[in-house]
Structure 1
Amino acid sequence: MHDDRQLVEARLERVLRERIRPALYPLTAPLDVEIWSTPGEPVPVAEGLTAPTRPIAEGTPWGAPWGTSWFKVTGTVPAEWAGRTVEAVLDLGFTPRTPGFQCEGLVHLPDGSPVKGLHPRNSYVRVGSPVTGGEQVHWRIEAASNPDLDSAGVPFQPTPLGDRATAGDAPQYVLGPMRLAVFDETVWDLVMDLEVLGELMAELPLESARRWEILRAVSRALDAVDLQDVNATAQAARDELAGVLAAPAVPAAHRISAVGHAHIDSAWLWPLRLTVRKVARTTSNMTALMEEEPEFVFAMSQAQQFAWIKEHRPEVFARVKKAVADGRFVPVGGMWVESDTNMPGSEAMARQFVHGKRFFLEEFGIESEEAWLPDTFGFAAGLPQIIKAAGARRLLTQKISWSRTNRFPHHTFLWEGIDGSRIFTHFPPVDSYNCEMRGRQIAHAANNFKEKGVATRSLAPTGYGDGGGGTTREMVAKAARLRNLEGSATVRWEAPAEFFDRAEAEYPNPPVWVGELYLELHRATLTSQAQTKRGNRRSESLLTEAELWAATAAVRAGVPYPYQELDRIWKTVLLHQFHDILPGSSIAWVHREARETYARVGEELEGIIATAQRALAGEGSVELVFNGAPHARGGVPAGGAAPEAGAAGAVVPRPREGGGYVLDNGLLRVEIDARGLVVSAYDFAAGRESVAPGQAANLLQLHPDFPNQWDAWDVDAFYRNTGRDLVEVAALGVEGASVRVERDFGASRVVQLLSVPHGVKRLDIDTEVDWHERERFLKLAFPLDVKADRYASETQFGHAYRPTHQNTSWEWAKFEACNHRFVHVDEPGWGVAVVNDATYGHDVTRTVRAADGGTTTTVRASLLRAPRYPDPETDQGVHRFRHALVPGAIADAVREGYRANLPERRVTGAASEVAPLVTVDGDAVVVSAVKLADDRSGDLVVRLYEAHGGRARATLAVADAFAADRAVLTDLLERQLADAGPQAAGQGSVSLDLRPFQLVTLRLPRA
């Protein structure tokens, strides 16, 4: 029996490969092909349809990297094919690689109507079924010659192909056969039968009777095939398989809900402008497939991608919109893009849902209850309450299955965030967002499912993704055969909401996971492409300011509120938070354009802020200080007095005995030794030293950085095994009120300015790095004299705690983690924060000192990396960072974190002061946004949250222009919740009682 099994399996593989699949197209006829290549960027469809072409023959190279060519394809169906099914098989030069990473095309009719997309696993176009003979074929194919960045078969190699400026113009592809062909549907069905049964057979246990039943049927089917005349005998072979295909699944079989899917990266190994066309090709394919397959359902997330086809390909969008109305094409996720969720700030994460959900509501009248993030690199602990505040209650992802150290213990569970919000969460056990309905994938989903015995359902996103392509007719055919097949999980097409409804109903009390969903992989995405990250942070801060000051100017000075401009800029910033842009894992082209975009965004937002502040200040010479602090939004206290001696009000350094300098403002005394390192930061009020004895802070440390794979994505734990402290000083001196430190290392140079401002317990460290290292990791270390078993790092609308120890593999795996504006370590009653204006990655470790038995907790900010794939010039050049060492409680960390990112602005004018629109009387309650309502009603919208992790009672004072007694609670989309909202505590104020980290959005109508 053993020999029979191996012989049949080997026989099946060869007969399929060499005889049955080649018989799919028994008759072919050549098509005439001509080509026109655009001289530069892609052209509108109308131009491509009429451009002059020249003949091109099979075997001819074509397509410069990132180029666009238009193929004219013509031909006539032979008369003798009448009554047959005819397709065109169009090979642009495809390689065996999966779709989305090479050339691809979109077929058009002569009038410009889209027909369908082409890729290596979907290269056919149906001509007729049946044909009458003599039909004329006339198509134009817009083809993209995208370079295959891994074409050599060795991934993660530096390449100049990642930017059009360095890619050259050598042809990337060779035109393959372009032919009309008779399609034998019986042979195609036989292929599907044999593939499904062969794949199922391979997954069943050797001793399984079902396996041997299938094997015998396959053997009989192969006997029934005449290898010299497959087409005439295909039906006889199918008849031999009918019995085993009809055997139903057992009642306890795992249930898989298949949803058509094409996770399209909005940018990655291709630029943004190419994704616009990837989406058009994929959605054209999916709407065409729906016409052939009545049960097929397709889901697509990312409102930005719908908006692209609406703008650039309205004829494709019309097809999509009809399919949405028919319930076959499902907008899902409710976000502007599938963003990173670790690094986007509080308001940005909220606006991902605001703009995404609003687009789906306005365009389709649909509101998704599911957040859809299959490929995002881990999930911040603040996300559940944002999802709930946006009116959603579910989450799908599978990325945590990529974790390398620990296996996540659930596939269906409740995820609890920092404020106690819980959302129903599902990880597809198929462990892929590119399911192809292969037997091993279906078996893996069933066997892998963690909730056996208490739940029976999982979801399988089915189709080619990353670079697009979507679901194929082969996948649909396999799903049909797996609908109710003995030995297999059952499969049925369902929209995501249908799956979640059924999953929740059968599993009403799932387990709870509390805190972040940390991905034990791709940790270096918190640091790669520092300029992109700085651009994001600055844009978020400027948007917060622009909304605040524009709203204040609209109310106080009658300046028109820039609704359209802010909407457009928010969407631009949100787009660049996509999970391969903000994380720094895209090609050079993407990040070059991101830097240019952030510069334009910054200039426009500065203009909005300046216009508003000038209007508020009026004409005059009085100096006003415009303060965007989170407790008094819109507050502009009267200014005029010059700052005390020293730049920006900082104290002047004085020499230190033994070399170096001392900075002392009466609150904090900082000693900087002759190496330019901070050896003391003494908190006078607490009587505490911040820096661990015998240690030095502001210590730059350089490590080798060559991960096992995924260069821009990963940093592996072994990087910590070697490295060096950068303690050599090229120059040390005083510059204004700052201590200036210069260092040279390798091919790079660092200049730091250290200062202590008057009246604030804070050491400011401004760092400029001219970085020219390769495969190195630069850290900034602060060894602190604090015994902390855990530490706080800011996340959206609060902070999350992580352990400093490594008791288990779960703690060990978090050797690089994300923070927003601060990391804070403390003992009861006292602590120290490291705040920043542009960095996200960090690590925290602890050691016990032999000399005194005390504990040193070291916080290290990650500054720069130098991976070479996919951008070989990653981070080369000049970078600026601002960090601060802040002794104090979590309240001090919150305050100084905001201050580092929202600096005061000084404007001259006639006004003595401008009253704020809103103020809050409690430090624990932070105002994250002040804006006018998006519906242009003139209502004021205020978003705030409890920031310290405890209960808070506060009063929100509101400008006279608004009726505080009518303030209502809303969701993030500014829609009133069922709760009528807080009652006014008095004229012009609202009383607030908040739970730890509670997020509240208030809408205040005009009085």
Structure 2
Amino acid sequence: MHDDRLLIEGRLARVLAERIVPAIHAESRPLAASVWVAPGEPVPVAEGIAAPRTPIESGARWGAPWGTSWLTVEGAVPVEWAGRVVEAVIDLGFDSGMAGFQCEGLVYRADGSPVKGLHPQNSWVRVAAPAVGGERVLLHVEAASNPMVPFPGPTPLGDRTTAGDEPLYRLGRLELAIFDEEVWELVQDLEVLGELMHEMPDNPARRYDIARAIERALDAIDLQNVNATASAARACLTEVLAAPAVPSAHTVCAVGHAHIDTAWLWPLRETVRKIARTTANMSALLADAPEFVYTMSQAAQYDLLARHRPEIYAKVRKAVQEGRFVPTGGMWVEADTNMPGSEAMARQFVHGKRFFLEEFGTEIREVWLPDTFGFAAGLPQIIRAAGCTRLLTQKISWSRTNQFPHHTFLWEGIDGTRIFTHFPPVDTYNCSMMGREIAHAARNFKDKGRASTSLAPTGFGDGGGGTTREMIAMAARMRNLEGSPKVVWTDPADFFDRAEAEYTDPPVWVGELYLELHRGTLTSQAGTKQGNRRSEHLLREAELWAATATVRTAAEYPYEDLDRIWKVVLLNQFHDVLPGSSIAWVHQETEQAHAEVARELTAIIEQAQWTLGGEEAGPNLFNPAPHEWFSIPAGAAGPAQPHHPCVVTKRAEGGYVMDDSLIRVEIDACGLVVSAFDLTRQRETLPPGATANLLQLHPDLPNEWDAWDVDRFHRNRVTDLTDADFLAVQPDSRSGAVVRIGRSFGSSTVEQTLSLRDGALHIDTGVDWHETEKFLKLAFPLDIHADRYASETQFGHMFRPTHTNTSWEYARFEACNHRFIHLAEPGWGVALVNDGTYGHDVTRTVRPDAGTTTTVRASLLRAPRFPDPHADQGPHRFRHMLIPGANITDAVREGYRVNLTTPRRGVATPVAPLFTIDNDAVVASAIKLADDRSGDIVLRVYEADGGRATALITPGFEYSGLQLCDLLERPVPEDVSAHTEGDTGVRLQLRPFQLVTLRFTRTPAQGAH
């Protein structure tokens, strides 16, 4: 019987492909076609429809890369087709797979109203059901000739300036056809049963029953007249399709879905059209399938649709009101969650949730991040502070070393917050409802015996497309089918309600959800990452200075500008943009956007400073007071001066000694740091014989996914860049004196400036980078014995081991930090802070003297060739600070300080701060006016050291009320000890890493602005 089954499988595959599927649209008539090619960028619908056409036929080549062609097809339904279902079949030249990664189209009626999208698995348009005969057919197709960007090699197609203008596609079938529903239903019957037969080795009796039923059905088909014999074939399958599932069968909750990358292998302008095509498709499908439920995340995508395609958005709004089209996610975009800073991660939820509340009156509780490349340990608290309680992700299944032990669990963050989390065992966020996928979900589910429900995001995605009528039909057959999990359509909230109800005591996972893949995304496209970091800090300063100007001078607060700019920054934190894994076009636009953000925010800061200084203010620099730098604007009459000027002297054996009376740094003749001595504590930072500030170059050709991956074997070969082209000392107005170093290697050059200020070694590295498939790191060996190190994440820090005791630590060979890394022995530590790098590694060795060397290496640059063959080429600048003797508080403070911008203008006299905080462990992440324009002042603080903290917060303005709030500035029940101390302020008692948002109501006399 085993051999018979294999024969049946082979027979079924051929008969389906060659005879039955073609019979769905067997009887057809050609459609006349004409085309107009839009010059340049896409044009409005009315213009595209009205433009003059020239004839075109099936087989003709069309579509230059990134072009738009307006195709018109027309004809008439034959009279003899009266009473039949008629569809137009429009094949733009599709590859049978790769939905969303090639040419696509959006179909319009003659009046310009949208009908549905076209992609390889959805190339039909319903014309009449039933036809009366003689109907005129006139359809317009906005056809996008997006290139199929080839994996994994370098390609010019990702940049419109190098993509060329040769046509990419050849028109396929353009016909009117009778849709034979009975044949189509037979295809779905056979697809489901064929997959089920293949996927059930543990139930041979059921398997053989299905095999024999399929065999009888195939025998009943007349291969020369499938349409006439389809009903007879279906009758042979009725019994096996009617057998019900066992009561204990796993339940798969199918959620209609189309993961649409907000930018990736296409630019943002094409994403707008992908959203339009997909949502038009799904709106039509919802009308045809009453059991179907569709969900879409990313508030930014709803916003883009509303602004660019309001007629389609109106259909979406109607379906949302009916409960069929379900918003989910609660974020502005499906962002990367490793690299966005604390406030940026919070604002993803603020802007996302507020959009859904204002547009649909919907309070989103579920976070929907199926494709994000791992999750930072600070995220659970942010999720909870935004009013969400649940998280869905899938990407962790891509990990290559360790298999994650749960599919449903509680995820605990750095402050102890726990979030109910589900990780679909179907192992794809683009489920096509094939039996093999559903069977895999049940077999793979790791929580058997404790839970019986999982989720399957169902629909073509990445490039959009969504669910198809075939997926809905297959789900209907598996609703209650012996040998198969039970499939039901639901929305994310209903699924989580089910899962939480049945799994009341799930296991707990503590700390980051680290993806053991795509580690290179922490470094690729350095310009995008540095632009993001700069934008985040400028936004913080702009809000702070603008709020201060409003309170002190009644200046207008720039609500609209700040809201718009935040959304630009948040948009570019999408999980293929900030990670550096998009085509060149995307990163060019992102870096332009960041430059414009910097210009606008600098203007807001300068305007606030001029307003605070009055008309007589001069061009003075912003100089934050030492204790108040992180939360308080202050002014001074000139640039900052070091408390301990640096003295540079010549070393006897070449090189220099730098000394600022706090630390002494020795630099050898090659420009390498050979000593960093803490004069206060009389402690050497470097191990004996070691050199720091060491640039190291690795080959970097991962096994796959060039821009995404760094494989561990890159460490097998390393070139230390020790040769110096020059070494010189020059005076410096800030430090007293600096040491400059020049190097060259390959086709690239490096210039570094080393200086000492306030007990820290400042390293300014400029790289003119022209390497390919190379990985540049900056190494600092440290004489520290530590089994773990601290790495900053959102609203705190997390600890990672320095050892590789288990496969979990072994796999974490490249990890993410924000502004600092800190290592310590009891009583003494070292911090390395940065102004725009994220990737790093930490390793440890034991020396012959039995001492431990712990080496920190900051990842600076990569040179992947796919999807952008020129990634990272050109000039870059990095700033790092090595701080011997630093504790965590020092690391937090200096991490902020190195990222502060320096406005060109300032106030002539000091400005009274809006808040003072008497405990350095309590850090202000935001000071702003409330978003509701009430005039209230919002202060967000967090405990940064990882311990209990009490702090007195003293407002520098009169206030009449105080509320504890969530991230959306709504009152919440008190989960923190806070009490007012007379007129002096508010005393907080915070748990480790606790995040608190305070809202101060200003007295009526101060008014609202």
Counterpart in 2 of 1:816? 814
| Distance (whole Å) between structure 2 residues aligned to residue 60 and residue 624 of structure 1 | 64
Structure 1 residue aligned with 2:714: 719
Q: Report the 3-state secondary structure (helix = DSSP H, G, I; strand = E; otherwise coil) of the residue aligned with 2:191.
A: helix
1:789/1:805 contact within 8 Å kept: yes
Write the deviation string for residues 291-311 of structure 1: whole angstroms up to 9, x where unpaired: 110000011000111001100
The Cα shift of 1:231 comes to: 1.0
Partner of 1:781: 779
Cα distance in 2 between the residues matched to 1:522 and 1:986: 53
Q: Is the 8 Å Cα contact of residues 619 and 904 (structure 2) preserved in structure 1?
A: no
Deviations 1:466-488 (A, max 9, x none): 00000000000000000000000
Indicate how the Cα distance of structure 1 residues 652 and 845 shifts in structure 2: closer, same or farther if over 3 A, else same: same
Distance (Å, rounded) in 2 between the aligned partners of 1:642 and 1:625:
7
Q: 1:978 aligns with which of 973, 983, 1008?
A: 973
Corresponding position: 1:583 with 2:579 = yes
Aligned-pair distance for 1:631? 4.8
Cα offset, 1:141, TM superposition: 0.8
Distance in 2 separating the partners of 1:362 and 1:644: 49
Work out which of the residue numbers 686, 704, 709 in structure 2 matches 1:709.
704
Q: What corresponds to 1:915 in structure 2?
A: 912
Indicate yes or no: 2:546 matched with 1:525.
no
Shift of 1:32: 1.1
Given residue 26 of structure 1, which amino acid in structure 2 is its aligned partner?
Answer: A
1:98–1:121 Cα contact (<8 Å) kept: no
Per-residue CA deviation, residues 321-377 of structure 1 (Å, 9 max, x unaligned), is 000001000110000000000000000000000000011111111121110000000
Q: Which amino acid aligns with 1:709?
A: E
**Pairing 1:734–2:732 present:** no
The aligned residue for residue 371 of structure 2 is 375
Are residue 534 (structure 1) and residue 530 (structure 2) matched?
yes
The residue number in structure 1 matching 2:770 is: 772
CA separation in 1, counterparts of 2:155 and 2:984?
A: 61
Q: Which amino acid aligns with 1:864?
A: L
Q: For 1:583-622, what aligned pairs fall within 5 Å after superposition?
A: 583-618=579-614, 619-621=616-618
* Aligned-CA RMSD value: 1.4
Counterpart amino acid of 1:943?
A: R
Residues 823-842 of structure 1: matches in 2 within 5 Å?
823-842=821-840
Amino acid at match of 2:149: L
Secondary structure of 2:830's counterpart equals strand
1:187 pairs with one of 169, 183, 187: 183
1:165-218 Cα distance to aligned partner (Å, 9 max, x none) = 110100011111110000100000000000100000000117610000111111
Q: Is the 8 A contact 1:843 1:859 kept in 2?
A: yes
Instruction: Tell me whether 633-642 or 888-897 shows the greater mean CA deviation.
Output: 633-642
SS at match of 1:450: coil
Q: CA deviation at 1:620?
A: 4.0
CA contact (8 A) 1:343 1:819 kept: yes
What do the CA deviations read for 1:404-449 (whole angstroms, capped 9, x no partner)? Answer: 0000000000000000000000000000000001111011000000
Among candidates 554, 559, 565, match of residue 563 of structure 1: 559
Q: Give the conservation status (yes or no) of the 8 Å contact 2:669–2:727.
A: yes
- Equivalents in 1 of 2:605, 2:514: separation in Å? 37
Runs of 5+ in structure 2 lacking a partner? Answer: 732-736, 1004-1009
After TM superposition, the structure 1 = structure 2 runs for residues 374-413 of structure 1, keeping only pairs within 5 Å, are 374-413=370-409
Cα drift, residue 537 of structure 1: 0.3
> Structure 1 residue 836: deviation in Å?
0.2
Aligned equivalents of 1:9 and 1:773: distance in 2? 51
Question: Partner of 1:63 in structure 2?
Answer: 63
How far apart are 1:907 and its partner, in Å? Answer: 3.9
Q: 1:400 to 1:167 in 2, by over 3 A?
A: same
TM-score normalised over the length of structure 2 = 0.97
Superposed counterparts of 1:12-31, under 5 Å:
12-31=12-31
- Amino acid corresponding to residue 122 of structure 2 in structure 1: N
SS at match of 2:674: strand
The match for 2:437 is 441
Matching residue's letter, 2:379: L
CA contact (8 A) 2:840 2:858 kept: yes
User: Relative to structure 1, is the Cα distance of residues 672 and 122 closer, same or farther in structure 2, using a 3 angstrom cutoff?
Assistant: same
Query: CA deviation digits over 1:667-721, x for unaligned, max 9?
Result: 1111111110111111122221111111011000000000000000000000000
1:685 is aligned to 680
Whole-Å Cα distance in 1 between the matches of residues 914 and 122 of structure 2? 58
Of residues 623, 630, 653 in structure 1, which corresponds to 2:648?
Answer: 653
Tell me the secondary structure at the aligned position of residue 1002 of structure 2: coil
Q: What's the counterpart of residue 1007 of structure 2?
A: none
Where do 1:225-244 residues align within 5 Å?
225-244=221-240
1:698 aligns with 2:693: yes
Deviation of 1:139 (Å): 1.3
Q: What is the CA distance between 1:643 and its match in structure 2? A: 5.4
Match for residue 894 of structure 1 among 867, 892, 912: 892
User: What's the offset of the Cα at 1:397?
Assistant: 0.3
Offset from partner CA, 1:123-152 (integer Å, 9 cap, x none):
0000111110111111111110001112xx
Aligned-residue offset at 1:650? 4.8
Following superposition, the deviation at residue 636 of structure 1 comes to 4.2
Q: Structure 1 residues 629, 42: closer, same or farther in 2, change over 3 A? A: farther
What are the within-5 Å matches in structure 2 for residues 276-295 of structure 1? 276-295=272-291
What is the rounded CA distance, in whole Å, between the counterparts of 1:770 and 1:649 in structure 2?
A: 32
SS in 2 for 1:986: coil
C-alpha distance in 2, partners of 1:821/1:436? 42
The residue number in structure 2 matching 1:158 is 154
Counting only pairs closer than 5 Å after superposition, residues 46-125 of structure 1 correspond to structure 2 as: 46-125=46-125
Which segment drifts farther, 984-993 or 351-360? 984-993
Match of 1:548 in 2: 544
Corresponding letter in the other structure for 1:689: E
Residue 330 of structure 2: which of 334, 337, 342 is its match?
Answer: 334
Per the alignment, do residues 636 and 287 of structure 1 end up closer, same or farther by CA in structure 2, a change over 3 Å counting? closer
Q: In structure 2, the residue corresponding to 1:983 is in which secondary structure?
A: strand
Q: Deviations over 1:506-564 (max 9, x none)?
A: 00100000000000000000000000000000000000000000000111112110000
Q: Which residue of 2 aligns with 1:867?
A: 864
Relative to structure 1, is the Cα distance of residues 121 and 755 closer, same or farther in structure 2, using a 3 angstrom cutoff?
same
2:62 and 2:170 in contact (8 A); partners too: yes
Secondary structure, in 3 states, of the residue corresponding to 2:380?
A: helix
CA distance in 2, matches of 1:816, 1:976: 40
C-alpha distance in 1 between matches for 2:472 and 2:638: 73
Q: Is the 8 A contact 2:576 2:582 kept in 1?
A: yes
- Residue 847 of structure 2 is matched in structure 1 by 849
Of residues 399, 418, 422 in structure 2, which corresponds to 1:422? Answer: 418
Q: Which amino acid aligns with 2:997?
A: T
Closer, same or farther: CA 441–629 of 1 in aligned 2, 3 Å = farther
The equivalent residue for 2:664 is 669
CA deviations on 1:27-61 (whole Å, 9 max, x unpaired) are 10111111001111000111111111111011111
Q: Deviations over 1:372-414 (max 9, x none)?
A: 0000000000000000000000000010000000000000000
The alignment partner of 1:126 has SS state of strand
State the SS of the aligned residue for 1:653: strand
Provide the C-alpha distance between the structure 2 equivalents of 1:93 and 1:622, rounded to a whole number of angstroms: 62
Contact 1:629-1:898 within 8 A present in 2 as well: no
Q: For the Cα contact (< 8 Å) 1:527–1:865, is it kept in 2?
A: yes
Provide the C-alpha distance between the structure 2 equivalents of 1:1000 and 1:909, rounded to a whole number of angstroms.
Answer: 30
Matched, 1:747 2:772: no
What SS does the aligned partner of 1:869 have? coil
Contact 2:630–2:893 under 8 Å retained in 1: no
**Contact between 1:617 and 1:907, CA under 8 Å: does it hold in 2?**
no
Aligned residues with identical type, % of pairs:
67
Find the aligned partners of 1:554 and 1:108 in 2 and give their Cα distance. Answer: 50
In structure 2, what is the Cα distance between the partners aligned to 1:169 and 1:832? 55
Cα distance in 2 for partners of 1:940, 1:193 equals 62
Q: Which residue of 1 aligns with 2:958?
A: 961
Counterpart in the other structure of 2:882: 885
Q: Quick check: 627-636 or 733-742, which moved more?
A: 627-636
2:12 is matched by which residue type in structure 1?
A: L
AA of the residue aligned to 2:648: P
The alpha-carbon deviation at position 97 of structure 1 amounts to 2.7
- Equivalents in 2 of 1:427, 1:164: separation in Å? 37
